[in-house]
Structure 1
Amino acid sequence: MKIKFLLVCALTYTTLFFSQSKSQLEAQEFFWGEDDAFKDAVDIPEKWQNESAVVIYKNENYDYHKFGKQVEYKSSLRKRIKLLDQASVTEFSTFTYQKRFSSSKGYSGYNASHTIVGLKIIKQDGTETIIDIENEAVVVDNETKVAIANLEIGDILDFFYYSVEPFKSVEAFGFNPVEQTLGEEYPIMDYKLYFQTENDFFINFNSYNGAPELTEIATEKNNTRRYELVATDIDKHKYERWFYPLVELPTYKFQVYFARSGKFEDRALAFLPEDEKIIKKTVSEEEVLNYYEAYTPLGDLGSIERFIKENDFKNDRERVIAVYYYARHRYLTQYVEAIIVGETDILASPFYATKNNPHIFGNEKEFARHFMAFLYDFDYDYDLIIGKKRYDGSLDELLIQRNANVFLKVNTSPPVYLDYFRLHSDANQFNYLLEGTDVYEISATKKRLDKITTGKLPQTTYDQNESYKEITITLNEDFSGFNYQGINKYKGYEKADQQFDKLIFKDYVIEDYEKYGTEPFIDQITNKKTREKTEMELAALVTKLREKQLENLKESIEGELEIQDVSDYTYNIKETGRYGFDTSFTYDESFNAKDAFIKKAGPNYIMEVGKLIGGQVDLSDEDRKRVENVFMNYPRSYNYHVTLNIPEGYSVSGLDKLNKSVDNKTGAFISTATIEGNQLIITTTKQYKNNYENGADWPLMIAFLDEAFQFTNEKILLKKN
């Protein structure tokens, strides 16, 4: 394992290293000099003596200054960690960092800033050794690694990461937000977060779930402001499955925004405090309304109006949904081939070659304003929805504008939700992490958003988000393996990842071309020679993608079923499922497997039929002790229908172990097994009924999770008649 600086630093940096340079020595003096209050700290409280490691001191610093048009941002992290067992010695035996970063701030470039890393080892006898990181490091896979020799139980690692990043900015600029829990995988004895800013730097900062408040430190200069957050005796926390740390643990969140004048403050993409001297801790409904008033209807509706005139719709709701899918093609998928041709250098200027001026929505604001124009012109009642993902806390904790999710609700019966386009996104769908959350609903009078209320988003059920597999297994005559025929269907939120993995661009752009009668990209190329060359190279690219896709899918099925020798894999898309949240993405697959799930037992054979439903959650003893609440993405179900063709001359025994039933308010695992003629029919359903469970109900979840896992261990006996 490694010390990973990429995981603990909030921003990205350009990095230059100077072995024992003046800057290096200054940084060492800053962290390890005479004023270091923790230079002699080595003792661990009795209560933590049995921990793997303990952080004696953790310090984070953020410093923001301006000099004319120049802005300077400094950040640093220091940790002093005592290793208490062999596991932590192994964990920290390799020190890893990344030497090159790119910066997105202002006009800074690769040589504009520098970052210094320091590391020293303190042995139990008090001997200190500063590691010459630059000279001892090796680069592996773009990471710089330093092996720490002779590390022992009882040693202390004291390291820092210090960055100075100057850049020019003549307008408003938002630094990357930081949202972090106080606790981590090891307990922390002393922790300090330090801020320093001056005029024109605005701070949104708040503490949650019992974290200490940020306090101001008196300064001698009116334009300089200092703040700190101090905490002690912070317990460790295991970051486990289905857990939202920012919701449950002591946490702080902040963003610093730079704006030189009032006009830049007005343009800021942030909920700014009224004055840079004020730490903004909350955002009111009125402030949310004031920010989103800028979302006014705007867009050229010519193509949408023509689409509406050329088609008939049963009702207003059907028209909204149809326009959404048409617009997805009009403003996104019709350009996909051109974008890919350009990115792969098949054609240097694809849009020039087609004399086509693309119009692609660049962000959710452009999307929302365009659809607001359509909804306004066709006299629909609608709301702009402002929500916050469940893992980031409740709506009343909204602090950072970047965390707000924006989409539209059209008030038909029932309502239709319209979210920013993705390649396979559906009408009446929004991010599943917003399901069931409180949101702001901003309504309009004429073209102006002027009224804000709160509402709650609907939530899907487990049967709406379904993964379904229909499998037929035929054993080889010599029982050396089997043939697998599968029909796979995914709907609701379950299909998005499947579509992304199993559809290449040709699968959906051709479908959209045909559905909307659009001229394909290739046919739009005006020069015949260029068109023929592009068509040939694009076809070659598709062939390569298909080959790679087949290999990936073969590896995927091997991983899912935990088998190694898969051959003759085939795959065929039946339905893309791209025109309705409740429609299924469907594909067939088949393959042959050798030496899998079957073992000879005298004249009979044992078959591990339970493994055909894939891997299941295997809870450890530590997992079973859970007391935390359970946060999942969405309710869902996984259903299997397995048919085993029983070999002639054999019968099946052991069905009783394949019939299971655990069903409670948190979920279920139910399986049945019957013999129908010469076939064994197995059905299973696994249901996660909610997206949240109280920690007190964890034992109920354990019940059905264990039953599902146990099923994968069940076998049948194919008995010679």
Structure 2
Amino acid sequence: MKIKGLTAFLLFFSISIFSQTKEELAAKDFFWGTNDTYKNVTEVPQKWTNESAVILYKNENYDFHKFGKNVTYTSSIRQRIKLLDKAAVEEFSEFAFKKRFRSDKGRFSWKEKGNNYIGVKIVKPNGTEIEIDVEEESVEVDGETKVAIANLEIGDIIDYYFYRLEPFKTTYAFGFNPVETYLGEEYPVVDFKLFFETENDFFINFNSFNGAPKLTEIPTEKRSIRRYELVASDIEKIQSTRWSYPLLELPSYKFQVYFARSGKFEDRALAFLPEKEDIIKTSVSKDEVLELYDNRFKPDGDVGDVKRFFKKKTFANDAEKVTEAYYFMRHYYLTRFVEAMIVKDAEIMSYPFMNYGNPVFIQNQKQFVRHFTEFLKREKIKYEIVVAKKRYDGSIDDLLIEKNVNVLIKVKTATPLYAELFSIHTNINEFSPLIEGTDVYLLSPTRNRIDVIEKGKLPVSRHLDNETKKDITVSLNDDFSGMNLTSVNSYKGHSKKDEQYERLMFTDYVTEDYAKYETASFIELIKRKKDKIRYKKELDALAEKIKAKQVERFEKSAKAEFQVEDIEDYTYEINETGRYALDSYLKFTESFKIKNALIKKAGPNYILEIGKLIGGQIDLEEKERQRTSNIYTTNARSFNYNITLNIPEGYTVNGLDKLNKTIDNETGAFISSAKVEGNQLIISTSKQYKHNFEPNTNWSKMIAFLDEANQFTNEKILLKKK
């Protein structure tokens, strides 16, 4: 548990506090009882006396037990921290949490209530201990419970624990959330212990990485009970670093516990389980990957809808056929139900899906892979199933936890195509940029089963493939009190998906899909005319309401991008949705007025902060300029701006020399140019991140173009009166 995450940790686990129950006393005794060997530890090692704070002891615990259908999961953390400066005192003077929670685990989670307990005490330099009465000292503010730690001073030790007891019921195999973290904190740690306890029917996958200590087993009084611990000491602090993947470079550990009662449920578990409960699984072989996914991803499904759609169509090749099938399935098995989902969520109709008969609705990875490969099988098109891991989680050779797997389909056309479980805007050949360039397993079928597994590598997109492009036109008011700005914004590749979810209304894309595939809309499926009129009116009203809130967000976004306090007369229009090819653009136009910003009078002339029109740039702090970790970004990408300023009549432009810049090296670039053509100033800028990874030795080269881009935002031009 990282220190900055203390408040988030408490918020997440929703605390329920009761007065000295048996469970609460047990929690307190677990950490602060007679077996507490750290209660007298107060001294900081000499080498860390100049730190803001030092963690004298950190202890994380996980406990898994069962009785019949009942499972009890207990997780807890304790930290004993010495505060050495004012900043640390301020950080720990208040924290927030929510009371009470319901378990999200098991089959009956809506009924199961869990209890959580928190303890906080202050140890003064003279040894005096002050235990905080959390219930008495807490106050409710905006749905949160806040506790202020009064009279906290430099030199104090804050000793807190959080203890979560979560019961639930399950009759089937169940995987607990994986734990994947690194040892270091933002403060140095003197001593650390990870401890967990399990019993029969709980299977453990665990491994340490990058030099972290190994897990060791502790002898127990019963064969059915198992205890393990990982112990470390003298852990140096780590600093949060931009574009870093700590799990790849820092000492870390990962584990997951899986519950499966019998051989039958073990076979059904979607996990790489060890052979027996008393074996700690530390790695996963190729054969185990093949065995798990063979049955799970066998082709299956009714693809008659696709065949009927293709009945009157011809295709130049298999790639064209597969592409068309993907987009048809995206619509027929997902987007044609979007209106019904919205109607249900808005409680306009209790069960709107009855209008579709018995539709196929693909909503998970397994359904998609089986359905799509059934189509490929019937069309006699060869394919492979790709099993990949995200770059930040390490190599496929270190695969340990099934939840970390990304699965997609590689279609073996002349130029391979990739198909991933579709969401509303997913394109063919689109898959997570976090698995680009990674080594993967490729599973392929012979006859009626998946029985071949080989190593492969996924392609990597270029910075030219993932583009943000803006064509901005600016006209100044006659009295120079403001400006009119129109921006045509275009996004493609990985740069467009988030923008599509933000910018597109459901009416923008379902209408497009209905027309393309000649399917009936939700309203058209309603049989009674009276109901059609009623529900259309309600759906249209809902769309208008969503649109109004959407425009409010866009106005705030425009103000933030151009660093102005206010805009007026904002308008917005979708030009192209970009939903039928990864390299097609999402394009929209927005226009608005800016008043009393970016322009300053200088005698008879005016100064225009033209550089701010490319939006905010990265302004590196001094501490960021020295770097030891490698540089990992999500994907290569480019940002291209074309700015056209209509020069006011009677004025010329001075200062173009500062707008012409070129920094271009192997890591990236910032290139800008400016020229006057007729009565227009035309500025073009291009910022490029050429790769998704750079070794730390290239950091100075990245700094060069990042600084140049940031400096450009400070550049101004002079509009000089003739």
| Shared fold, TM over 0.5 | yes
The C-alpha deviation readout for 1:463-487, integer Å capped at 9, x for no partner, is 1100000111100000001010111
Amino acid at match of 1:151: L
Q: CA deviation at 1:267?
A: 0.4
Secondary structure at the aligned position of 1:622 is classed as helix
C-alpha separation in 1, matches of 2:113 and 2:146 = 24
Q: 1:379-390 to 2 correspondence within 5 Å?
A: 379-390=380-391
Question: What residue number does 1:331 align with?
Answer: 333
Aligned 8 A contact 2:93 2:148 in 1: yes
Aligned 8 A contact 1:204 1:254 in 2: yes
Q: CA deviation at 1:357?
A: 2.6
Question: What residue number does 2:608 align with?
Answer: 607
C-alpha separation in 1, matches of 2:583 and 2:436 = 16
- 1:85 aligned to 2:120? no
C-alpha separation in 1, matches of 2:209 and 2:550 = 45
Aligned 8 A contact 1:175 1:255 in 2: yes
C-alpha separation in 1, matches of 2:187 and 2:143 = 28
Q: CA deviation at 1:6?
A: 6.4
Unaligned runs of 5+ in 1: none
The C-alpha deviation readout for 1:106-159, integer Å capped at 9, x for no partner, is 234555431111000111121111111112112233322101111111111100
Question: What residue number does 2:569 align with?
Answer: 568
C-alpha separation in 1, matches of 2:135 and 2:589 = 54
Q: 1:159-308 to 2 correspondence within 5 Å?
A: 159-294=160-295, 295-308=297-310
Question: What residue number does 2:73 align with?
Answer: 73
Secondary structure at the aligned position of 1:113 is classed as strand
Question: What residue number does 1:544 align with?
Answer: 545
Amino acid at match of 1:351: F
Amino acid at match of 1:370: H
Question: What residue number does 1:17 align with?
Answer: 17
Aligned 8 A contact 2:283 2:399 in 1: yes
Q: CA deviation at 1:88?
A: 0.8
Q: Report the more deviating stretch, 336-345 or 90-99.
A: 90-99
Q: 1:363-378 to 2 correspondence within 5 Å?
A: 363-378=364-379
C-alpha separation in 2, matches of 1:214 and 1:282 = 14
C-alpha separation in 2, matches of 1:2 and 1:292 = 39
RMSD, aligned α-carbons: 1.5
Question: What residue number does 2:33 align with?
Answer: 33
Q: CA deviation at 1:503?
A: 0.4
Question: What residue number does 1:344 align with?
Answer: 346
Amino acid at match of 1:300: D
Secondary structure at the aligned position of 1:157 is classed as strand
Secondary structure at the aligned position of 2:622 is classed as coil
Question: What residue number does 1:589 align with?
Answer: 590
Q: 1:455-466 to 2 correspondence within 5 Å?
A: 455-466=456-467
Aligned 8 A contact 2:417 2:429 in 1: yes
C-alpha separation in 2, matches of 1:130 and 1:111 = 31
Q: CA deviation at 1:546?
A: 1.4
Q: 1:130-145 to 2 correspondence within 5 Å?
A: 130-145=131-146
Amino acid at match of 2:87: A
Aligned 8 A contact 1:14 1:113 in 2: no
Question: What residue number does 1:534 align with?
Answer: 535
Q: CA deviation at 1:361?
A: 1.1
The C-alpha deviation readout for 1:203-250, integer Å capped at 9, x for no partner, is 000001111100011123111111100000111111221111111111
C-alpha separation in 2, matches of 1:426 and 1:337 = 21
Q: 1:673-692 to 2 correspondence within 5 Å?
A: 673-692=674-693
Secondary structure at the aligned position of 1:497 is classed as helix
Amino acid at match of 1:522: I
Q: CA deviation at 1:30?
A: 1.9
Partner of residue 313 from structure 1, selected from 307, 312, 315: 315
Percent pairwise identity? 56
Question: What residue number does 2:158 align with?
Answer: 157
Q: CA deviation at 1:529?
A: 1.9
Amino acid at match of 1:84: L
Question: What residue number does 2:518 align with?
Answer: 517
C-alpha separation in 1, matches of 2:504 and 2:284 = 42
Question: What residue number does 1:449 align with?
Answer: 450
Aligned 8 A contact 1:468 1:490 in 2: yes
Question: What residue number does 1:598 align with?
Answer: 599
Q: CA deviation at 1:351?
A: 1.8
Amino acid at match of 1:48: W
C-alpha separation in 2, matches of 1:608 and 1:342 = 49
Aligned 8 A contact 1:376 1:446 in 2: no
C-alpha separation in 1, matches of 2:523 and 2:147 = 52
C-alpha separation in 1, matches of 2:111 and 2:69 = 19
The C-alpha deviation readout for 1:673-716, integer Å capped at 9, x for no partner, is 11111111100000000000101110000000000000000011
Secondary structure at the aligned position of 2:102 is classed as coil
Question: What residue number does 1:98 align with?
Answer: 98
The C-alpha deviation readout for 1:242-268, integer Å capped at 9, x for no partner, is 111111111111010111110110001
C-alpha separation in 1, matches of 2:6 and 2:555 = 36
Question: What residue number does 1:664 align with?
Answer: 665
The C-alpha deviation readout for 1:316-350, integer Å capped at 9, x for no partner, is 10110000000000000000001100110111121
Aligned 8 A contact 1:19 1:135 in 2: no
Secondary structure at the aligned position of 2:103 is classed as coil
C-alpha separation in 2, matches of 1:142 and 1:396 = 45
Amino acid at match of 2:561: E
Amino acid at match of 1:25: L
Count how many residue pairs are aligned between Structure 1 and Structure 2: 719
- Quick one: structure 1 residues 299 and 282, their matched pair in 2 at CA, closer, same or farther if it must change by over 3 Å? same
The C-alpha deviation readout for 1:141-186, integer Å capped at 9, x for no partner, is 3322101111111111100011222222222111111111111111
Question: What residue number does 1:623 align with?
Answer: 624
Aligned 8 A contact 1:441 1:455 in 2: yes
C-alpha separation in 2, matches of 1:443 and 1:611 = 52
Aligned 8 A contact 1:461 1:635 in 2: yes
Question: What residue number does 1:43 align with?
Answer: 43
